[in-house]
Structure 1
Amino acid sequence: MIKLGVNIDHVATLRQARKTFEPDPITAASLAVLGGADIITVHLREDRRHIQDRDVRLLRETVCTKLNLEMSTAPEIVDIALKTKPEQITLVPEKRQEITTEGGLDIVTQKKTIMHVVKRFQDAGILVSLFIDAEEDQIEAARDVGAQFIELHTGNYANAKDVTDRNTMIEKLQNGVKIANKLGVRANAGHGLTYQNVGLLVESLDIEELHIGHSIVSRAVFTGIQKAVSEMKELIYRHSLQKPQIIN
């Protein structure tokens, strides 16, 4: 079954709105794991708008599942990640003015820089994933720089206006997974996924991990973190059973 990575950034967003000590993302991570989260994901942004250095340090000490740290290639953030040693880092594009990540990382135009960063993490025994759009040249570039994983950007699928647009996006993501498999790169997916749109994606894609944050945290405001995570986990399980079985 596809593993669920729960992004708890927006628990920290709520805390930072008042610059106080609650709600604590460390507590949220623990409850998410109790709810079934296989992975805890956080994004340490350069502007520290939500997750703080202290959070990353404490999560490394307390998370008993896989810790996935989203980040840019900024030297300061790279140094923090190397010191913290999460199981996995995911390189993402980052703009100061954006509300959330707007698209995939452009590896093709930054190959030299990204290759250098990837090598530093791999030398430290840390898995590397690259958050990219499902474009053949970007997937090939991910292979070329040595990343073990890609995380396909599902924002366009999540924002599809109608069935035709949605199906087009699904086909593009399916093709991206096929290219990755052919090149020996492991595929994950995430961004903009909700309780309403995750089912079709699970049934359509042969991927290892789904990373979901905002929708789970939004539901948790009303139901609690543990229940919100367990509901998403159950959805993924149910739709995994609907996926056609591949016979080798």
Structure 2
Amino acid sequence: MTKLSVNINKIATLRNSRGGNVPDVLKTAADIEEFGAQGITVHPRPDERHIRYEDARQLKGIVTTEFNIEGNPISKFIDLVLEVKPDQVTLVPDSVDAITSNAGWDTIEYKQFLKDVIGTFKENGIRTSIFTDPVPKMIEGAVETGTDRIELYTESYAVQYAEGKHELAVEPYVEAAKLAYRLGLGLNAGHDLSLDNVNYFKEKVPHLLEVSIGHALICESLYLGLENVVNMYLHRLK
């Protein structure tokens, strides 16, 4: 079964919109695990507009499944990860003012930078993953960085799938997955995966270890309920 890691950034966004602690990010994370999710993901950004750095620190004592912290490895982020020591860190090349992640790493241009950062995390026993597009040369470049896994950026898949171009949408990801497997890289995926498109992706893309889903899952939960939606994803990922 492909594991489901739930990104809870949107829970923090809702909390921050009114101040106070409603909804409670820590309780929501614990509830999501109780509902069956196999991981919790957070993506703190420098302005802390949703998940705060202190949330990540407190979640370390709450999450009992897999804890994944993702973000751009600026010095502040690196310090946080080394302090918290999550199960996995996912490196994402988003700019400071990015609304959401919108591209994978250029693993050729940033090879040495990534190699240095990844080496530091692995020395501290933290599994590493890097956000990549389904482009063969970028996946080949990822091997040179020393990363344990890659996370395929799936926005283009989601867009084309919604247009009814299912086979065209998934084809580059199938090839990327096969290449990553041959090169010894573990495979994660995320961005704009939803109840509508995740089952097709999982069925077609081999060797998929984990998906990270946040925005769609929380939006779907407004209509269907959080526990129900988590279990609907788990069913699709079997």
Cα RMSD, aligned residues only = 1.3
| Superposed counterparts of 1:56-95, under 5 Å | 56-95=56-95
Specify the code of the residue in structure 2 equivalent to 1:53: Y
**Distance in 1 separating the partners of 2:72 and 2:107:** 12
Question: Per the alignment, in what secondary structure is the counterpart of residue 182 of structure 2?
Answer: helix
**Distance in 2 separating the partners of 1:57 and 1:222:** 31
Q: In structure 2, do the counterparts of structure 1 residues 159 and 62 end up closer, same or farther at CA, with 3 Å as the change threshold?
A: same
**Distance in 1 separating the partners of 2:144 and 2:22:** 42
Specify the code of the residue in structure 1 equivalent to 2:210: E
Name the counterpart of 1:240: none
Specify the code of the residue in structure 1 equivalent to 2:45: R
**Distance in 2 separating the partners of 1:8 and 1:105:** 23
Specify the code of the residue in structure 2 equivalent to 1:130: I
**Distance in 2 separating the partners of 1:34 and 1:142:** 34
The offset of 1:40, in angstroms, is 0.6
Contact 1:91 1:131 in 2 (8 A): yes
The reply on whether 1:196 has 2:196 as its aligned counterpart is: yes
**Distance in 2 separating the partners of 1:44 and 1:235:** 28
Question: Per the alignment, in what secondary structure is the counterpart of residue 17 of structure 1?
Answer: helix
The reply on whether 1:216 has 2:217 as its aligned counterpart is: yes
Structure 1 unmatched runs, 5+:
238-248
**Distance in 2 separating the partners of 1:97 and 1:75:** 17
Which stretch of structure 1 is more off in the superposition, 199-208 or 16-25? Answer: 16-25
**Distance in 1 separating the partners of 2:227 and 2:201:** 23
Name the counterpart of 2:234: 233
Contact 1:70 1:91 in 2 (8 A): yes
Contact 1:35 1:228 in 2 (8 A): no
**Distance in 1 separating the partners of 2:78 and 2:144:** 20
Name the counterpart of 1:51: 51
The reply on whether 1:163 has 2:149 as its aligned counterpart is: no
**Distance in 2 separating the partners of 1:105 and 1:179:** 17
Deviations 1:198-222 (A, max 9, x none): 1110110121111111111112223
**Distance in 2 separating the partners of 1:98 and 1:54:** 21
Which stretch of structure 1 is more off in the superposition, 126-135 or 215-224? Answer: 215-224
The offset of 1:225, in angstroms, is 2.3
**Distance in 2 separating the partners of 1:98 and 1:63:** 27
Deviations 1:41-83 (A, max 9, x none): 1101112110011210111011000100001110111011101
**Distance in 2 separating the partners of 1:59 and 1:107:** 30
Count of equivalent residues: 236
The offset of 1:169, in angstroms, is 2.5
The offset of 1:125, in angstroms, is 0.3
Relative to the length of structure 2, the TM-score reads: 0.95
Contact 2:94 2:103 in 1 (8 A): no
| Superposed counterparts of 1:133-212, under 5 Å | 133-160=133-160, 162-164=163-165, 166-206=166-206, 207-212=208-213
The offset of 1:188, in angstroms, is 1.1
Contact 1:153 1:191 in 2 (8 A): yes
Specify the code of the residue in structure 2 equivalent to 1:213: G
Contact 1:28 1:225 in 2 (8 A): no
Contact 1:37 1:233 in 2 (8 A): yes
Question: Per the alignment, in what secondary structure is the counterpart of residue 22 of structure 1?
Answer: coil
Specify the code of the residue in structure 2 equivalent to 1:79: D
**Distance in 1 separating the partners of 2:158 and 2:96:** 23
